[in-house]
């Protein structure tokens, strides 16, 4: 290989060359001493026969920790003790920031000059300097991978410096090493011809190696584009990155790929190391298909491989971004160890774990086993444990080639296995098809038999159901003729008509599916007359119900069709137009013809159908999602219409726009009657079902004063909702809503109900969505929620209970069952609340009682001396001073207010059971009213409405305190004039005492806290929030129920229920 010597060989004097004569003398003395005294007792002899000499064990080494020492200090004989003899063939000093110096002596045994090379065959050295003695001092040759490649004195991939040894001389040479990576000192003396021969041999092997790697990369890349399996792509990436890494280690990439990119030449080594880890672990994931396995071990392996691949990629990117070779090299080197240990460990575990991956993992272990063996052989050769022969010198390349070849073969083996499976499938395909055909034939026969059984069953079922329905319908008509109709009878009539129509449609769909002929289409129908009569009948049905029907019917149009079939088509299409119309909607019916066809059109201004659903509306049992408004059927009518039209060899088309309306167009063959035809033109006596939607909104039950519990009922069937509202309204305050969204809107303007009853299957927001919204609202999470639904499966019940419902009632149900459930829930809620209130108010009463005791003692020490002081002042001239008297009145009133608060608290202190006796409610009420009537100055009217001899068992003083506090609270709520009434009655075995006012009422947000101690909405100084707390506490002590009903701006009613 040609080379040239170029520059950076500087003659220097150890101390530097200057004008000062003393410095020159010192330089001469040092050099004289250096040359006069040999530094080595055993210099390396160089002759013409010398081929190559590794210098490792001939070196003396010196560490320069700060990298600041100069050749002047190191070549001083006084510093010889600082040098250490090398014992290693290839000194490896690890990662270090220190500079290292190496010195060695060469002796030319020939009588002529010898030209040799010094090669540093570990190329990852940033800076290497050769100090070569000459007549003027030292000549310096600088080399390293921190300098552009073509600045090297010898253009070769490794670090090579030419050296000329003068004839018959012995010289001492110095090498200085500095690098950011691992410090490996591997200088070798080469005779020039031997070095050229070495280059030739190495180039052949290396280029063969890179040629094989290139072929394998292209081969797998080609397979990737052919098969589209990403495994081949990752293997190709692994081969390419591994080749670039090897080229970096050999110095080929710096020589041929980026000779002038010094920065990249330095950091590319750790970058390629990280990318190699990324590529190989991604390859392993896809090769073993760990991401597709369900076993925990494979999931763990996939996670581990993914983490290792990501770590390698991250390390490469960080090294590239930071540009710090030293840190990148350290981190990558550490991760290489982790990669190897973890990857091989997982592979070995998988190797001995039965599964479909075992065959592939064998290939993987074999491939990387050979690669690791090759790498170990190269390392052992480097440390002279193994001899330097061809096998050890190129063991890393050989191991890499075997690794790539085995992995490529493994992927090819996968294709081979797939090919064998396909061949086996082709061989046995005919047998499998024959077996499957026999199975299908047997299954088909079985299905035919089952269909026959099913047909017989439904035929019998049809008879058994239609007969009682016919009786019910006819007797209902007879009842109406005799006794007249009512709203309730109309609801029952609609239910019977719907049930009968759905039953007929259901059985007819089954007949059409079996291919049965339901109609006799050999008959001739006058379509114009039948359509005109049916349109007039439907128009009379919707008259006065906010829907209008218009028509444009061409006369004397005939079709060869069963008149029953024609009527079925007309009924279904016009009923749909009515059912899905809107308030104030219109329906237009038209019949036109051309030469050979008749077009029947029904157009409405209803809610329309979404385009996505148009393709399915003729499928049996398909239901269009829309705002139900109690009109959704079971999805059979249009399917029957389509089947009838197709049996007439006609077509049906639908055009619809959501929010605008829908148009159905039926096209039939036009028929021209001939002599002898029997023409059917009279309307058949089939009464259409009442399908007119109810547009009137359902009003809520008027508010009921008193202590009745409130129930929210959510149901999309208006008839059932009206029934539930009426029956439940006899016992509770009922709010009704047609779906979850409407219920939420109503809840926003009302107090929380005591119980929520809801259907599940509703439009806009179903029951599941409604309960989810309820549980998210503050204060509504604990409201008992009951589902009432036709979904009767156990899974549906479990689902509803898991969502937060406390009970599940199936339709059909008896109203008494629902009322019983609600009463049971309310009783449980009352018991739970009473127990909670009892514990809360008892604990609070004891706490406040203790506080009142501590306040009452010093208060007594204030009021007593204050009275004595007032008497003393009255005996002086100050007794007539109005300002002094006002001060005393303020002090006395404040003391009385504190005493009143203390007395109220002391009432709560007692933990003893209050003694009970019969109490005359009327007498106590009159006393309390009389006391407060005197105080209000006539601005408030007091009324009492108490039944004679209403008495309760309780503590007389406690009951008086309760009434006194309730009346006082009522008076404070009335800002101007108003009235307060006390009423008492006996009902359901309990006395009910109500204190009502016409005051400002209690806002909804304050209602749950009015009985809390010290909670008040009054201005500072007007109360401390104990009055109602005392009322509640005393009621709990006497086992009385206390409830409040209030409407802001209208007044408040407190109700006490004292049970016997």
d(CA 875, CA 736): 75
**pLDDT at residue 9, rounded to an integer:** 45
Residue 16 confidence (pLDDT) above 50: no
Mean pLDDT of 168-197: 91
**pLDDT at residue 989, rounded to an integer:** 77
Domains of the chain: 9-194 (2.60.40.2380), 202-420 (1.20.1070), 487-680 (3.30.565.10), 710-813 (3.40.50.2300), 913-1059 (3.30.565.10)
Q: Whose CA is closest to 76, among 130, 132, 14?
A: 14
Question: In which band, very low, low, confident or very high, does the pLDDT at 246 lie, cut at 50, 70 and 90?
Answer: confident
State in Å, rounded, how far the first CA of the chain is from the last one.
120
Mean pLDDT of 244-264: 88
Question: In which band, very low, low, confident or very high, does the pLDDT at 1034 lie, cut at 50, 70 and 90?
Answer: confident
What is the share, in percent, of the chain residues with pLDDT greater than 70? Answer: 75
Residue 515 confidence (pLDDT) above 70: no
Among 183-192, 505-514, 801-810, the range with the most confident prediction by mean pLDDT is 183-192
Q: Whose CA is closest to 157, among 206, 111, 113, 190?
A: 206
**pLDDT at residue 467, rounded to an integer:** 66
Question: In which band, very low, low, confident or very high, does the pLDDT at 418 lie, cut at 50, 70 and 90?
Answer: low
Three-state secondary-structure class, residue 559: strand
Q: How many Å is the Cα radius of gyration of the chain?
A: 52
pLDDT tens digits, residue range 932-966? Answer: 876 666 778 888 888 777 888 888 878 888 888 88
With beta carbons less than 8 A apart as the criterion, state whether 128 and 140 touch. Answer: no
Q: Which residues contact 407 (CB under 8 A, 6 or more apart)?
A: 235, 283, 287, 363, 364, 367
Residue 465 confidence (pLDDT) above 60: yes
**pLDDT at residue 1011, rounded to an integer:** 76
d(CA 193, CA 252): 22
Mean pLDDT of 1003-1022: 66
Residue 177 confidence (pLDDT) above 90: yes
Q: Is the dihedral of CA 321, 324, 325, 328 positive or negative?
A: negative
Helical segments of 875-955, H only: 882-909, 921-936
pLDDT tens digits, residue range 339-365? Answer: 667 767 777 776 777 766 677 778 777
**pLDDT at residue 987, rounded to an integer:** 81
Q: What is the mean pLDDT of the chain?
A: 78
**pLDDT at residue 630, rounded to an integer:** 44
* Higher pLDDT, residue 353 or 557: 557
**pLDDT at residue 61, rounded to an integer:** 93
d(CA 235, CA 241): 10
**Distance set, CA 985 to CA 944, 967, 1053 (Å):** 11, 18, 15
**pLDDT at residue 718, rounded to an integer:** 81
**pLDDT at residue 262, rounded to an integer:** 87
**pLDDT at residue 11, rounded to an integer:** 36
Question: In which band, very low, low, confident or very high, does the pLDDT at 659 lie, cut at 50, 70 and 90?
Answer: confident
**pLDDT at residue 648, rounded to an integer:** 87
Mean pLDDT of 729-741: 88
**pLDDT at residue 328, rounded to an integer:** 66
**pLDDT at residue 778, rounded to an integer:** 79
Among 148-162, 323-337, 412-426, 1001-1015, the range with the most confident prediction by mean pLDDT is 148-162
With beta carbons less than 8 A apart as the criterion, state whether 406 and 363 touch. Answer: yes
Question: In which band, very low, low, confident or very high, does the pLDDT at 35 lie, cut at 50, 70 and 90?
Answer: very low
For the range 891-894, what are the long-range contacts, defined as Cβ-Cβ under 8 Å and sequence gap of 24 or more? 891/866, 892/863, 892/866
pLDDT tens digits, residue range 833-845? Answer: 766 666 665 565 5
* Higher pLDDT, residue 1054 or 21: 1054
d(CA 1022, CA 831): 35
Mean pLDDT of 522-539: 87
Mean pLDDT of 813-822: 83
**pLDDT at residue 457, rounded to an integer:** 66
pTM of the shown model? 0.42
Residue 464 confidence (pLDDT) above 70: no
Question: In which band, very low, low, confident or very high, does the pLDDT at 26 lie, cut at 50, 70 and 90?
Answer: very low
d(CA 835, CA 829): 10
DSSP per-residue codes, 703-769: P--SS--EEEEE-S-HHHHHHHHHHHHTTSEEEEESSHHHHHHHHTTSPPPSEEEE-SS-SSS-HHH
Strand order in the sheet with 661-669: 547-553, 585-593, 597-604, 661-669, 651-657
Mean pLDDT of 523-545: 83
Residue 626 confidence (pLDDT) above 60: no
**pLDDT at residue 18, rounded to an integer:** 35
Instruction: Please identify which residue in the block is written with the tokens 């339709």.
Output: 811
**pLDDT at residue 689, rounded to an integer:** 53
Q: Whose CA is closest to 16, among 67, 79, 70, 59?
A: 70
């Amino acid at each position: 290989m040609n080379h040239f010597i170029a520059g950076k060989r500087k003659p220097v004097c150890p101390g530097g060359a200057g004008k000062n004569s003393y410095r020159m003398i010192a330089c001469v003395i040092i050099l004289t001493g250096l040359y006069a005294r040999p530094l080595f007792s055993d210099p390396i002899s160089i002759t013409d026969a010398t081929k190559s000499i590794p210098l490792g064990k001939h070196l003396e080494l010196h560490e320069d920790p700060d990298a600041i020492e100069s050749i002047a200090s190191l070549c001083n004989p006084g510093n010889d003790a600082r040098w250490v003899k090398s014992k290693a063939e290839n000194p490896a000093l690890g990662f270090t920031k220190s500079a290292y110096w190496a010195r060695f002596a060469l002796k030319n045994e020939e009588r002529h000059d010898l030209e040799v090379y010094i090669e540093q065959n570990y190329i990852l050295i940033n800076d290497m300097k050769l100090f070569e003695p000459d007549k003027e001092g030292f000549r310096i040759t600088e080399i390293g991978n921190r300098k552009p490649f073509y600045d090297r004195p010898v253009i070769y991939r490794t670090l090579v410096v030419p050296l000329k040894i003068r004839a018959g001389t012995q010289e001492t040479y110095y090498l200085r090493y500095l690098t950011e990576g691992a410090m490996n000192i591997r200088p070798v003396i080469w005779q020039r011809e031997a070095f050229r021969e070495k280059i030739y041999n190495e180039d052949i092997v290396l280029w063969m190696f890179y040629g094989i790697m290139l072929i394998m990369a292209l081969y797998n890349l080609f397979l990737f584009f052919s098969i589209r399996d990403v495994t081949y792509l990752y293997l190709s990436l692994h081969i390419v990155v591994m080749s670039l890494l090897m080229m970096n280690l050999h110095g080929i990439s710096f020589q041929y790929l980026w000779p002038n990119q010094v920065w990249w030449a330095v950091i590319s080594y750790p970058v390629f190391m990280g990318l190699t880890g990324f590529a190989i672990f991604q390859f392993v994931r896809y090769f073993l298909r760990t991401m597709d396995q369900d076993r925990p071990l494979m999931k763990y392996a996939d996670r581990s491989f993914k983490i290792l691949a990501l770590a390698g990629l991250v390390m490469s990117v960080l090294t590239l971004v930071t540009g710090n070779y030293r840190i990148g090299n350290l981190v990558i080197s550490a991760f290489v160890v982790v990669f190897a240990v973890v990857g091989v460990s997982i592979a070995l575990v998988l190797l001995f774990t039965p599964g479909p991956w075992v065959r592939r993992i064998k290939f993987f272990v074999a491939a990387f086993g050979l690669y690791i063996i090759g790498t170990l052989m190269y390392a052992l050769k480097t440390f002279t444990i193994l001899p330097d022969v061809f096998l050890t010198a190129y063991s890393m390349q050989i191991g890499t080639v075997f690794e790539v070849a085995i992995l490529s073969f493994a992927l090819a083996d996968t294709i081979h296995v797939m090919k064998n499976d396909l061949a086996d499938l082709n061989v046995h395909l005919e047998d499998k098809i024959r077996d499957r055909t026999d199975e299908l034939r047997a299954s088909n026969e079985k299905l035919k038999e089952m269909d026959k059984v099913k047909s017989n069953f439904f035929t019998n079922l049809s008879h058994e159901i239609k007969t009682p329905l016919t009786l019910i319908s006819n007797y209902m008509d007879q009842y109406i003729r005799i006794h007249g109709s009512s709203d309730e009878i109309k609801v029952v009539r609609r239910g019977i008509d719907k049930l009968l129509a759905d039953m007929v449609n259901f059985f007819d769909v089954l007949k059409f599916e079996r291919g049965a002929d339901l109609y006799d289409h050999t008959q001739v129908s006058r379509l114009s007359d039948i359509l005109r009569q049916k349109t007039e009948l439907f128009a009379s049905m919707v008259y006065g119900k906010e829907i209008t029907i218009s028509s444009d019917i061409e006369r004397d149009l005939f079709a060869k069709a069963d008149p029953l079939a024609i009527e079925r088509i007309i009924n279904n299409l016009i009923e749909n137009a009515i059912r899905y119309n809107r308030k104030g909607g219109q329906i237009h019916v038209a019949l036109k013809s051309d030469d050979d066809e008749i077009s029947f059109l029904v157009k409405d201004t209803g809610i329309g159908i979404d385009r996505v659903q148009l393709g399915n509306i003729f499928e049996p049992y398909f239901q269009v999602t829309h705002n139900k408004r109690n009109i959704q059927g079971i999805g059979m009518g249009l399917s029957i219409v389509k089947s009838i039209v197709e049996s007439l060899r006609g077509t049906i088309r639908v055009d619809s726009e959501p929010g605008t309306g829908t148009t159905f167009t039926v096209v039939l063959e036009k028929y021209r009657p001939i002599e002898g035809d029997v023409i059917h033109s009279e309307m058949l006596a089939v009464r259409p079902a009442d399908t007119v939607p109810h547009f009137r909104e359902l009003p809520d039950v008027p508010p009921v004063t008193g202590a009745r519990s409130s129930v929210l009922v959510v149901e999309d069937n208006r008839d059932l909702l009206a029934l539930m509202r009426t029956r439940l309204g006899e016992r509770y305050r009922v709010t009704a809503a047609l779906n979850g969204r409407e219920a939420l809107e109503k809840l926003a303007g009302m107090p929380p109900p005591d119980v929520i009853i809801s259907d599940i299957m509703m439009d806009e927001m179903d029951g599941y969505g409604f309960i989810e919204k309820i549980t998210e609202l503050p204060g509504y999470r604990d409201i008992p929620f009951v589902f009432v639904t036709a979904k009767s499966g156990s899974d549906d019940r479990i689902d509803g209970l898991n969502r937060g419902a406390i009970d599940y009632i199936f339709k059909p149900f008896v109203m008494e069952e629902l009322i019983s459930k609600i009463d049971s829930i309310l009783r449980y809620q009352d018991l739970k609340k009473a127990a909670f209130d009892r514990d809360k108010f008892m604990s609070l009463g004891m706490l406040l009682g203790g506080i009142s005791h501590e306040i009452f003692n010093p208060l007594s020490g204030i009021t007593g001396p204050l009275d004595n002081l007032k008497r003393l002042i009255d005996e002086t001239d100050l007794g007539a001073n109005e300002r002094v008297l006002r001060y005393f009145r303020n002090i006395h009133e404040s003391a009385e207010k504190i005493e009143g608060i203390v007395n109220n608290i002391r009432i709560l202190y007692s933990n003893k059971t209050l003694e009970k006796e019969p109490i005359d409610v009327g007498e106590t009420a009159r006393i309390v009213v009389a006391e407060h009537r005197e105080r209000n100055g006539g601005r408030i009217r007091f009324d009492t409405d108490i039944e004679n001899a209403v008495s309760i068992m309780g503590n007389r003083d406690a009951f008086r305190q309760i009434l006194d506090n309730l009346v006082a609270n009522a008076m404070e709520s009335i800002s101007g004039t108003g009235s307060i009434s006390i009423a008492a009655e006996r009902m359901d075995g309990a006395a009910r005492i109500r204190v009502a006012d016409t005051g400002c009422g209690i806002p909804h947000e304050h209602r749950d806290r009015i009985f809390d101690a010290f909670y008040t909405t009054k201005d500072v100084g007007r109360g401390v929030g104990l009055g109602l707390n005392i009322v509640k506490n005393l009621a709990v002590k006497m086992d009385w129920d206390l409830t409040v009903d209030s409407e802001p701006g209208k007044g408040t009613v407190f109700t006490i229920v004292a049970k016997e």
